[in-house]
Structure 1
């Protein structure tokens, strides 16, 4: 999307002092000196803390909040989140290792993913992590691993519900999906769990992500609770854990309206009360990644060249899509839109110009800003991309063209 507007002021929540963006109380230029290089990602621990506090204030008191580590598995971030949330949700054995290095008890950690390897299943069983099983074959493999280890496995079933999370960025439920076991197959799956004598925990129902519409999330949460209540009679033991997913989005682009979290929390409290009789022992869990960390991070890259081509100005920076695929528009966007961008050491600079910000890669896809009006920048200035705390570095092709790595810090 071409934009003649400067940084989306409604999205930038970091303070500014003497023309410098501040993160963790440190001016950006000083922070860059402390890091020792560009590009880098920086995450603000106070912003992470405040987001969880605000969420708890708006959610039912008995609700458990889990952090989906796939959003940002940086060890320092995960360590910090372990002090704030009630549990972790994993997508790999690599993430499990990071999680188990924190104070978070294994009993509060779950592991989802449609293609878990036997070795990963074995590791999770040995650790005492709950496995969200996603197929009949996986249930049988879990049982085989249990027999080999002489241990039992904590197992929940990930359900592919018949409904979807409407207006979500990525739909992960409803229709044919690689995720979970189809809702209509659940009675058979529950009978298999009983026959295999696995330690049944409950259900995981994740139907979509990046949703800014409270009504859509409320509808999906209501249907998830109702579905679990209907299935309760088929379960080998009472449901102890019910993960109803997340899907809470954050604003990225002009016109995006932040999610009305209070509206979601009020409705969820009413729904949980309505299903308490059917699910008396169930711990209700929401699983959030992007919503918890996305707005707490920035990506910082330095201008290394500036040139004009047929009337357009290009700022060439030392970072690009290999570090931040999402900001380049190549991570799920149908029509490319600019992330919120600023010249972080010239936040109060009055003179503006319309520029394209591109990375150093030999591909026309390496675009970080397309025709944006920004403070007039020169070689050496620092470009900041906001909303970069989730699905940033680890969601990008860091080895592409063998460019130097970015660093990550928690400030």
Structure 2
């Protein structure tokens, strides 16, 4: 595990891992964050391609050839970012027709795109079946019937995986996706009926299974147990249909540290568990030739992003110091704690142009919106910031701008910039 606050704040640890400090400046990809704010204005998303590649390489090494990596593009649908992972050999997992467009724009060939999601429209199914899709992950009986009808009209057979809502014992993570009533996939108890429906659909070719039990998983043991359960379910499916599977999608869910006290997913522990998973797969003849897939999103993209805002005012109200900025929940809903969090805790926040200052003040960082929900940090320890200073929210490369109500109060949309090998480009 990555050390937590006992060895310094989470922000300190993340800076040491992914960034550089020179004097008072935080450097992303060798470029001063302050200079980027001056050049592009604020609020601003800053992405570092080197961090994305570092995260991908670390995960690939931990997987040891056991599984292929597909980037879950919902985490950050900017094609310039998805293209980094495509160039590294990743496929793309999508959940809408719009994400199909983004994946193709990012350079992903159709054969390397997987389409999951609980409410695929007919026009989306028609588009991906007509233009090509690697796998269609079917999630309900109506979808099986509609996909079969659309494929017949197009004169095509379509490779499908059946998405399975796993039993409660397999769930885990900060947001549990299985083990309870769910709009996602077929309950594990319904596997037989789902397989019968696919078998009766003449245009659908069952190629595999897809499970997704939870997200934001920081415990390697939980992750490995979920993957083991996925292999067990895949074996049961293969035996039920009496044919080898070609694909086993074990889902995503790999987490990153956001809050004080969080550790990092221990990739060494993941690597130690991979050999037994590979042996279990190879021991089942009907799974031996199947491609295993994992589909992380935030794990690959989250650490490579900063959300940068400029201080507009510094005020004290009834003993609480407020740092009021030009950025907020309309651009970064997750950092405000309003994207599904029950207990609102602070993302790591720092002052990227005052990195050499040890004198800190506890403060609440808020944005420009007319709601108390617009709070980026509730107990941040920052230098005594004044109007014109900068703050930066770390771990912001995933579930940032595209997961936020950017039109609320009609403030300007932030610029997104990508730093790659010393070059800076505006990408949104």
What TM-score does the superposition give when structure 2 sets the normalisation length? 0.92
Post-superposition CA distance 1:287-322 (Å, at most 9, x none) = 100111111111000011122222322111001000
Contact kept, 8 Å, 2:171 with 2:178, in 1: the verdict is no
Please state how far the C-alpha of 1:7 moved relative to its aligned partner.
6.5
Matches within 5 A, 1:239-388: 239-278=245-284, 279-388=287-396
Please state how far the C-alpha of 1:348 moved relative to its aligned partner.
0.7
Classify the secondary structure of the residue corresponding to 1:262.
helix
Post-superposition CA distance 1:237-267 (Å, at most 9, x none) = 4211110112111111111111111212221
Aligned to 2:140: 135
Give the alignment's Cα RMSD to 1 decimal: 1.7
Distance in 2 (CA, whole Å) between partners of 1:17 and 1:183 is 54
Please state how far the C-alpha of 1:406 moved relative to its aligned partner.
1.3
Contact kept, 8 Å, 2:92 with 2:112, in 1: the verdict is yes
In structure 2, list runs of 5 or more residues that go unmatched: 420-428
Please state how far the C-alpha of 1:181 moved relative to its aligned partner.
0.8
Contact kept, 8 Å, 2:166 with 2:188, in 1: the verdict is yes
Contact kept, 8 Å, 2:11 with 2:394, in 1: the verdict is no
Distance in 2 (CA, whole Å) between partners of 1:229 and 1:207 is 17
Aligned to 1:179: 184
Aligned to 1:159: 164
Aligned pair count reads 407
Distance in 2 (CA, whole Å) between partners of 1:142 and 1:328 is 39
Please state how far the C-alpha of 1:167 moved relative to its aligned partner.
4.1
Matches within 5 A, 1:8-87: 8-12=11-15, 13-34=18-39, 36-87=40-91
Distance in 2 (CA, whole Å) between partners of 1:371 and 1:224 is 40
Please state how far the C-alpha of 1:372 moved relative to its aligned partner.
2.0
Aligned to 2:101: 97
Change (3 A) 1:286 1:267: same
Contact kept, 8 Å, 1:59 with 1:262, in 2: the verdict is no
Distance in 1 (CA, whole Å) between partners of 2:296 and 2:157 is 28
Please state how far the C-alpha of 1:166 moved relative to its aligned partner.
4.5
Aligned to 2:423: none
Post-superposition CA distance 1:315-353 (Å, at most 9, x none) = 110010000111111112212111100011001123322
In structure 1, list runs of 5 or more residues that go unmatched: none
User: Which of 108, 111, 114 is the matching residue for 2:118?
Assistant: 114
Distance in 2 (CA, whole Å) between partners of 1:17 and 1:51 is 23
Classify the secondary structure of the residue corresponding to 1:270.
helix
Contact kept, 8 Å, 2:9 with 2:260, in 1: the verdict is no
Distance in 1 (CA, whole Å) between partners of 2:341 and 2:354 is 29
Distance in 2 (CA, whole Å) between partners of 1:361 and 1:204 is 40
What TM-score does the superposition give when structure 1 sets the normalisation length? 0.95
Classify the secondary structure of the residue corresponding to 1:371.
strand
Matches within 5 A, 1:215-234: 215-234=221-240
Aligned to 1:210: 216
